[in-house]
Amino acid sequence: MPKKILYISEALMNPKRRLIVRYLMERPGTSLRSLAKELNIGVGALYNHLMILSRVGLINMSKERGRVLIHINEELLINKRVSEV
């Protein structure tokens, strides 16, 4: 069983998750299937990455008309950047 990822820095150590976050920053509200297709990642593997990103608060997922839409948690990113200054 993989260890639980609790920190943003740990979640972003994975290159696929960094790619997902960058993509969503440019295209917020992308559907799960569209994201899987665009990044050439299987839906199951992508979902696992998204669960980790969601657990640390980097993304939010919502259902709309039967589609899973993914958004970056902009408030968290803004607070993170401000705290780094």
Q: Which of 8, 2, 1, 3 is nearest to 58 (CA)?
A: 8
Query: Quick one: pLDDT at residue 82?
Result: 42
Query: Quick one: pLDDT at residue 76?
Result: 72
Task: Identify the structural domains of the chain with CATH numbers, from first to last.
Answer: 8-84 (1.10.10.10)
Query: Quick one: pLDDT at residue 1?
Result: 42
Q: Which of 10, 11, 39 is nearest to 27 (CA)?
A: 39
Q: How many residues does the chain have?
A: 85
Least confident of 4-8, 27-31, 54-58, 72-76: 4-8
Q: Give 26-71 pLDDT, tens digit per residue.
A: 999 999 999 999 999 999 999 999 999 999 999 999 999 999 999 9
Pick 16 or 7 by higher pLDDT: 16
